[in-house]
């Protein structure tokens, strides 16, 4: 029961609406407007700036203070003490695993990394120069055509197996997309490797050359996956929930999430950062581009800066910056001209009044783009890496919704088109 009420009085309507107000464990209160539609009134909130679309216990963000918690644990502590698969377990199950649970979960994921062999032939239908996200949308959606034994969303066991399959197969598919694009044979996963080592092995080894994976790079990869693991009701997660609310199967829902993630305002930003740096071209052009970013008549935006929720430093970006320094130093790339330019851009934007006033700080994608480039991952694959990291979060939200009370997502509209007219 709500203890507080909000009163809504609308000019011209002789009635005051009393709306329940709910408090969460943290964060802003929410006004329950569900009763309004039966009174013939809708609320209007394009972009869902002021709308809580669901109740959730997975992730908490306080954008003003740069706080991100998964199941209550600060992201900085998880990045320091946990790893990607353990954080995935936490997101899915609500608690950190015991060491036996962790071993069992890691083992289960490890034994789901191979994909159905026919998926290998499926790839051949794509052009080799297709964008990796185009291929991912298709192939992940197509998993529902291969794994019929995990499609019944009402069955706990089916949902769990689908979750394991998705988390395990995403890096395999991501590496396959890359190998296909360069015409190299697909590499099978190897069970003695960790999740992130395995990904780098499938990306960069060939049947002719099987080199050990650099542990600093594997560690950085794991941090990138972990830092992207969830971010509450962002555009792609909301897409997964909306698709899921129709009863669609989990593979189809995650494919929908991948499609939503693709855009440059969301997951496509890490790719856009590198494209922007290439466009700027040289340190001497930075001032011109900063001016363009500030010019309201110019559509250019500084990619990798700003965030809908964080109006303070993105806590993930802090960790990512440190990992970025470690990777650049491990690879001896501190003097790489593009990376030096990125660091100069970051410094200027952090001091410029326009960016400071608007709370536009470098976001996680600014640094992850630089790290991924340094590791040798092609720019077009960056958003696929983001999708791989975000998969546990997507599934945790989908599962939370499916296991609780939910209705099909069906927003309403403010109609401003023609009134009835004769044909
Ligand atoms: N460069 C220049 N100006 C900017 C930028 C930017 N990157 N981002 C926001 N602004 C300005 C914007 O013009 C507006 O100015 P004013 O108040 O004078 O009109 C003000 O800052 C507020 O921006 P907004 O567009 O109202 O903010 P939003 O919450 O709708 O957009 C955003 C958030 C992330 C889409 C936007 O900051 C952006 O386009 N950033 C670049 C793309 C990017 O890096 N995206 C990755 C986000 S993090 C990863 C993820 O969560 O997916």
CA distance 401 to 246: 11
How confident is the model at residue 403, as a pLDDT? 93
Angle at the Cα of 188 (from 182 to 190), degrees rounded to 5? 130
Q: Is 308 in the pocket of ligand 1 (CB under 6 A)?
A: yes
Backbone angles phi, psi at 375, to 5 degrees: -70, -20
Q: Is 228 in the pocket of ligand 1 (CB under 6 A)?
A: no
Beta-sheet strand order (sheet of 30-31)? 4-9, 16-22, 30-31
Q: Where are the alpha helices (DSSP H) in 40-98?
A: 75-81, 84-93
Q: What are the tens digits of pLDDT across the range 368-410?
A: 888 999 999 999 999 999 999 999 999 999 999 999 989 999 9
Q: Which two tokens stand for residue 132?
A: 């990796």
Q: Is 304 exposed, middle or buried (0-12, 13-18, 19+ CB in 10 A)?
A: buried
SS3 70: strand
Q: Counting atoms of ligand 1 from 1, which one is nearest the CA of 47?
A: 30
Judge whether 307 counts as a catalytic residue: yes
Torsion region of 281: left, alpha or beta (phi above 0 gives left; psi -120 to 50 gives alpha): left
Q: Measured in angstroms, how far is the CA atom of residue 307 from the centroid of ligand 1?
A: 6
Q: Counting atoms of ligand 1 from 1, which one is nearest the CA of 261?
A: 52
Q: Name, in order, each residue with C-beta under 8 angstroms of 132's C-beta and a sequence gap of 6 or more.
A: 174, 177, 178, 181, 380, 381, 383, 384
Judge whether 158 counts as a catalytic residue: no
Q: Is 262 in the pocket of ligand 1 (CB under 6 A)?
A: no
Q: Is 303 in the pocket of ligand 1 (CB under 6 A)?
A: yes
Q: Report whether 273 contacts 303 (CB < 8 A).
A: yes
Cα distances (Å, whole numbers) of residue 238 to 78, 156, 243, 252, 352: 24, 22, 8, 14, 33
Element (H, E) at 350: helix 337-351
Q: Counting atoms of ligand 1 from 1, which one is nearest the CA of 231?
A: 51
Q: Measured in angstroms, how far is the CA atom of residue 368 from the centroid of ligand 1?
A: 18
How confident is the model at residue 310, as a pLDDT? 87
Cα distances (Å, whole numbers) of residue 76 to 86, 106, 311, 368, 392: 14, 22, 18, 16, 18
CA distance 86 to 11: 53
Among residues 164, 201, 307, 397, which one is catalytic? 307
Judge whether 365 counts as a catalytic residue: yes
Low-confidence residues of the chain: pLDDT under 50: none
Q: Measured in angstroms, how far is the CA atom of residue 90 from the centroid of ligand 1?
A: 30
How confident is the model at residue 339, as a pLDDT? 78
Q: Whose CA is nearest to atom 44 of ligand 1?
A: 304
Q: What are the tens digits of pLDDT across the range 21-72?
A: 999 999 999 999 999 998 889 999 999 999 999 999 999 999 989 999 999 9
How confident is the model at residue 420, as a pLDDT? 96
Q: Whose CA is nearest to atom 24 of ligand 1?
A: 308
Q: Measured in angstroms, how far is the CA atom of residue 325 from the centroid of ligand 1?
A: 25
Q: Report whether 185 contacts 120 (CB < 8 A).
A: no
Q: Measured in angstroms, how far is the CA atom of residue 257 from the centroid of ligand 1?
A: 21
């Amino acid at each position: 029961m709500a203890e507080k009420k909000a009163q809504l009085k609308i000019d011209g309507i002789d009635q005051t609406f009393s709306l329940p107000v709910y408090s969460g464990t943290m964060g802003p209160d929410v006004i329950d407007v569900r009763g309004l539609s039966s009174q013939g009134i809708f609320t209007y909130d394009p972009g869902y700036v002021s709308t809580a679309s669901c109740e959730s216990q997975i992730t908490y963000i306080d954008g003003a203070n740069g706080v991100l918690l998964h199941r209550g644990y600060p992201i900085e502590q998880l990045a320091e003490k946990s790893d990607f698969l353990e954080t995935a377990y936490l997101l899915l199950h609500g608690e950190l695993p015991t060491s036996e649970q962790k071993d069992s979960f890691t083992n289960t994921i490890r034994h789901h990394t191979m994909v159905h062999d026919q998926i290998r032939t499926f790839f051949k239908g794509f052009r080799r120069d297709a964008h990796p996200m185009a291929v991912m949308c298709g192939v992940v959606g197509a998993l529902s055509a291969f794994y019929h034994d995990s499609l019944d969303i009402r069955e706990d066991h089916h949902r769990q197996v689908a979750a394991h399959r998705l988390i395990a197969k995403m890096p395999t598919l991501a590496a396959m997309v890359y190998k296909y694009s360069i015409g190299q044979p697909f590499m099978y996963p190897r069970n003695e490797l960790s999740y992130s080592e395995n990904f780098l092995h499938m990306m960069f080894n060939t049947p002719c050359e099987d080199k050990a994976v650099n542990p600093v790079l594997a560690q950085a990869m794991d941090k990138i996956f972990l830092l992207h693991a969830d971010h509450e009701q962002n555009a792609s997660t909301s897409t997964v929930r909306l698709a899921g609310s129709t009863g669609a199967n989990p593979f189809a829902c995650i494919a929908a999430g991948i499609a939503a993630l693709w855009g440059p305002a969301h997951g496509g930003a890490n790719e856009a950062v590198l494209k922007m740096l290439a466009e700027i071209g040289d340190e001497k052009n930075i001032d011109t581009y900063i001016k363009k970013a500030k010019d309201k008549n110019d559509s250019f935006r500084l990619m990798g800066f700003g965030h809908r929720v964080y109006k303070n430093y993105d806590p993930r970006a802090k960790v990512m910056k440190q990992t970025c320094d470690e990777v650049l130093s491990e690879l001896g790339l501190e003097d790489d001209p593009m990376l030096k330019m990125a660091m100069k851009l970051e410094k200027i934007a952090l001091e410029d009044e326009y960016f400071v006033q608007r709370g536009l700080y470098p976001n996680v994608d600014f640094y992850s783009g630089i790290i991924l480039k340094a590791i040798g991952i092609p720019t077009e694959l960056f958003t696929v890496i983001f999708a791989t990291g975000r998969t546990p979060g997507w599934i945790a939200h989908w599962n939370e919704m499916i296991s609780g009370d939910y209705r099909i997502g069906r927003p309403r509209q403010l109609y401003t088109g023609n009134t009835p007219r004769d044909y």
